[in-house]
Structures are given as structure tokens and as C-alpha cells.
Amino acid sequence: MGETFDHIVIGGGSSGAAAAAGLVNKGARVLLLEAGHSHRHPLLDMPPGIFKMINGSKFMRYHKSDPQPHLDGRVQDIPQGNVLGGGSSVNAQVYMRGRPSDYDEWGEILRGSNDGVGWGWKDVLPYFRGMENNNRFAGELHGTQGPVQVSDPGHIDQMSRWFVQAVQAMGEPFNPDFNGATQRGVGFYQFTNRSGKRSSSAYAFLAPLKGNPDLVVKLHAEVAQIIIEKGRATGVTYRDKSGHHTAQTDGEVILAAGALVSPKILMQSGIGPEAHLGEHGIDVTAPLDGVGQNLIDHPEVPVTAFANGPYGYFKQGVGWRMLRNGLQLKLFGSGPVTSAGVEAGAFINPRTPTAAPTIQAFCVPIVYLDRDALSEVEDDYGLTVTTVVVKPKSRGEVRLRSSDPFAMPRFSPNLLKHEDDMAEMINAQRFFRRAFETQPLSDRIRDIVIPTADDDDTLRAHCKRFVKTNYHPAGTCKMGADSDPMAVLDAKMRVRGVEGLRVCDMSAVPDINAGNTNAPAMMLGARCADLIMEDA
């Protein structure tokens, strides 16, 4: 038998790192198993390093979808962090929490659970404030003493400024804080970095515990299954570079491997849809039909234009420009290397401007496309605005590929499958094509490359061809009311039908928040640690 710990956390990403640190800081001895690599690498630390890695890196694991019939058979990638810190070590670092109504909706959904745990905005805000160290905001909505460094962009490209001005000229208000009193408007994002260095969950939560014997971190550790004895999770089996191992716990197993892998591990362990597990010869421990269902992701579609001058970040990472920018960072701590490459954005409702935003936009001062579309547009000075449906209605699923516990899962994201999502995206594309045609941005645009026109047929075909993940898979092991047969978890994040087992990553959410998911993932991990200690 393997070593015994107070708790075992599977997955060292945004939520897993926060959960592990929260437990250790409360006196528990924790084993943290991370399948990926160390987070200590220069490209990971630098804010724009993501653009060097997004189309191929050992720090990413590329999950390929089943062919999507509604997208003419396209096979899509969802890259996930393969590194300590998970997505927070490889993302574009945009700090977004979503809007209060997102969490009040969770609260209503979970009101039918018997656990007495609130998930409304007033319940989660203390966790957001507690982990935040903001360099500009303070007060009721923001924290200044937490471990996660949240900062204004270290560098703002002129194309980003022209974008913000153009969208204001179209009637949208300037918003100085997308995590403030209202989400609507256009402005500049804040980021999880400080002075040109990424503030991942590995740095924020785990680095302060270096040398603490109560935290044992194992890298390259892939979990095969959770051991369940007499209805209780008692340990895990995993492999690393030295072979296969077993670890035991007297407390709980906390699953935080992400919305694609967490349901896979549950199913490998006999927890999931009975018929599907039977197809792979897996004995059922807890029949839960909701495991792997309710896959939600933010769909993203680009609007791309060529610039009429040397604007933006094209060629800034090669040749003499790379040397100049690197020297500027080293000597002065400033310049393009302090930017994550996406400084500006917007939240808008194209149909009803004063209503809750339905669309998030990211302004990227380069030609930026998904891997399967790179050959369709030449690389040149340009600008891409990606439009994202923030509350999509489309739902997908995750399934086992085989009985091999180390095989990648099968999944079908179904991006834009729901007609309402497609309608919202078409409206968004039309709106931001107009932004490219509005001063002062229009003065710097040579040609709008895609989409080529703004009629419905052209925009629909464009959306089908170019839609991609916004890297926010969620919902596949959702919390829900006791009356919901598809609820995998109760309001305390406990797996129904199995004692001593919780899920604390974005797969636990009943619906996705309106905005980036890294901050909510960290909140979920931190709250899970508190719930465990309260129940101990």
C-alpha cells in the first residue's frame, strides 16, 4: 500500500492549487498530483508567451473533438494546460470574475439542495476579494492583500486604444472596471501578472508553501482511477516516470483535473452513466447519468483585418525587435513584453444595448486564428477582434474513448449548435465589423479579411468555419439540487453516492459565468478547501 495523506488533490491547475494550499494552510497534509510539467519556464512567465505556444507546446495537451456535423464535420481542438498551474500558467491572464447575477443564478439552482450552502454573489465575493491583490482598485469589490497579483496592462498598443475609441464612437460607454458595478462597455482588461511576470495559481498559492512538509507535489503523475471501498473514496492509483503507484487518504479525494478529464476519471472509477460504463467493461460504483453531460464552453469567432501601416504586434517577437523588447523588459521593466497581447475588450448587447451583455470581445493586435484556419489568411500587420457568446445555450458531452485509463477522453463541444447562440454570434460579428469601419480605427484598416460581408448567409458560413473554443470548458460534473437527476454534485461539491470525494474545478458549475473562467476556478478551489475543513 502507498503512503497515506490527510487529503489527495488530483490536478494542480487553477482550482487544484488553490484547494491544496487552502487545506495545507489549515493544517492538513496534502498530496497534489499533477499530470503535467513544472511551471518554471521563461516563456510561461512572460505575459505574451502564450502566443509562442498556443499552436504547439509540451505545456498544452490538445484534446481533439469528435467530428461536428453541424459544423460540416470539423474536428476541433480544446487545448488544456499540461503544467503545474494548469490554465493559469498558459492563458492570456485576463482577470474576469463574471457578473453578480451569474452567481445569484447558481444560488437559485442550488437552493433545492439540503446542504445549506449559499452560492450567490454575497457568498462568493469574499473569496474573490480574499485572493486578489489589485494594483488599482480597492474597497467592497476588490482586494489588495491576496496572493494573486492583479494588474493593469503593462503596455497598451495603439491599435487597442483605437479600438476602444471606435467602440465608444458607436455609443458604448467606457468601462474602467469590468469587475466593477457593471459589466457593459468597452475598456482595458486587468491581468493576473505584475511587473511583466505571470501570477499563476502555482506562483500565488503553491510557491509560498515551498519547503512545507505538509504539501507533497508530484509532477508527471497521471491518475488512473480513484479507489472506492465500501462507498468511500480512500485513495488513488497513478503513474509517473518511475512507474505505477497507490496513495491512500484518511480524509478526502478532491478532483480538479478540468472539465474534460475530471468526468473521465470519475467514469474510469465506476462513477457515471451505467450503460456507457458497461460498454467499456467498467463496474459501476455510483450510477450518475450527469457525469460528462452539460459540457459548456464559450464559443469564439474572429473578425480580422489587415492594417495599412506597421501597427500592432506583428514581428515583435522575432529578430531585432525581439532583442529590443527583451532588453527593454530587462532594463526598465516595460515595453511590449509586459503585455499579454490582448489589452482591450468589450461587453455589449448588439440587439438591446442597455440590457445585460450577451457578447464579450477581445482586441488582439495581430492576425490571430485557430490552428485549423492558419493557412486561410496570410500573416501581416493586422488586428483581430474575437467575439464570444457569454451565456451559450449549446451543450456538449464528454465520454470515455476506451477502457484504457490513460487514453484521452472523447468529447463533442457542440459550439454554436443552438440556434440562439448562432444568432447572437452573427449579431456580434456584424457589430464589430462596423467597429472596424468607425474612426479612429477605420483610419488604420486596409481591408477586412474575414468575414467578407455582413449579410446573414455570409456571417453564418463564417461562424461555422471559424468558431473555436474560448478555452473555457465547464459544467461536466455539475452541482445541482437534490431533485435534479443530472446533478453530479451537491452544494458542498460532494459527489453524490460516494463519501469522501469532491470535484472543485470548472466542471462543478451548473452554468458558465459571463467572462473568463480562471478567477472562478480559483474561487471554487479555495471554497472547496473551506467546505472540507468545516465538515471535518
**CATH of residue 344:** 3.30.410.40
Task: Give the per-residue pLDDT at 320.
Answer: 45
- Whether 483 and 402 share a structural domain: yes
- Is 39 a member of any domain? yes
Q: What per-residue confidence (pLDDT) applies to 142?
A: 98
Phi, psi of 462 (to 5 degrees): -65, -45
Residues 488 and 425 in one domain: no
Question: Of the candidates 438, 466, 494, which is a domain's last residue?
Answer: 466
Task: Tell me, yes or no, whether 178 lies in a domain.
Answer: yes
Which backbone phi and psi does 342 adopt, to 5 degrees?
-145, 80
Q: What is the CATH number of the domain that holds 83?
A: 3.50.50.60
161 & 211 share domain:
no
CA distance 495 to 299: 28
205 and 240 part of one domain: yes
Domain annotation covers residue 506? yes
Quick one: pLDDT at residue 315?
47
Cell of 202: 502555482
Residues 24 and 112 in one domain: yes
Residues identified as active-site: 472
CA separation for the pair 501, 254 (Å, rounded): 6
* Residues 99 and 241 both lie in one domain: yes
Pair type for strands 60-64 and 30-33: unpaired
Which set of grid coordinates corresponds to residue 318?
Answer: 522575432
- Would 144 be classed as within a structural domain? no
pTM assigned to the model: 0.95
Same domain, 322 and 340: yes
Q: Which domain holds residue 492?
A: 1-116+197-295+394-415+473-536
Q: Provide the grid cell at 391.
A: 451565456
Tell me: do 516 and 382 sit in the same domain.
no
Question: Residue 121: inside a domain, yes or no?
Answer: no
Q: What phi, psi does 188 have (nearest 5°)? A: -115, 135
Q: Do 376 and 363 sit in the same domain of this protein?
A: yes
311 domain-assigned: yes
Tell me the per-residue pLDDT of 38-86, one tens digit each, with 9 for 90 and over. Answer: 999 877 887 666 666 666 689 999 999 999 999 999 999 999 999 999 9
Selection from 16, 432, 357 nearest residue 218 by Cα: 16
122 occurs within a structural domain: no
| Calpha distance 60→81 (Å, rounded) | 5
User: Are 178 and 314 contained in the same domain?
Assistant: yes
Q: How many domains does the chain have?
A: 2
Instruction: Give the pLDDT means over successive 10-residue stretches in the chain (536 positions).
Output: 92 98 98 96 73 73 96 94 95 96 96 84 98 97 98 93 98 98 97 90 98 98 98 98 97 98 98 98 97 98 94 59 55 61 95 97 86 67 96 98 96 98 98 98 96 96 96 97 96 98 98 98 98 93
pLDDT computed for residue 116 by the predictor: 78
Q: Name beta bridge partners: 304.
A: 384, 450
Let me know whether 72 and 29 are in one domain: yes
In whole angstroms, how far apart are CA 31 and each of 12, 217, 493, 528?
10, 6, 19, 16
User: Same structural domain for residues 261 and 281?
Assistant: yes
3-state SS assignment for residue 52: helix
Rg (CA), the chain: 22
Residue 444: inside a domain, yes or no? yes
Which residues are CB-contacts of 17 (< 8 A; sequence separation ≥ 6)?
32, 84, 85, 86, 88, 201, 202, 204, 205, 206, 522, 525
What local confidence, expressed as pLDDT, does residue 189 receive?
97
List the beta bridge partners of residue 386: 302, 362
- Comparing CA positions, the residue from 513, 481, 471 lying closest to residue 342 is 471
pLDDT reported for residue 41:
86
Last residue of a domain, one of 466, 489, 506: 466
Of 436, 466, 496, the last residue of a domain is: 466
CA distances from 348 to 146, 354, 369 (A): 30, 9, 22
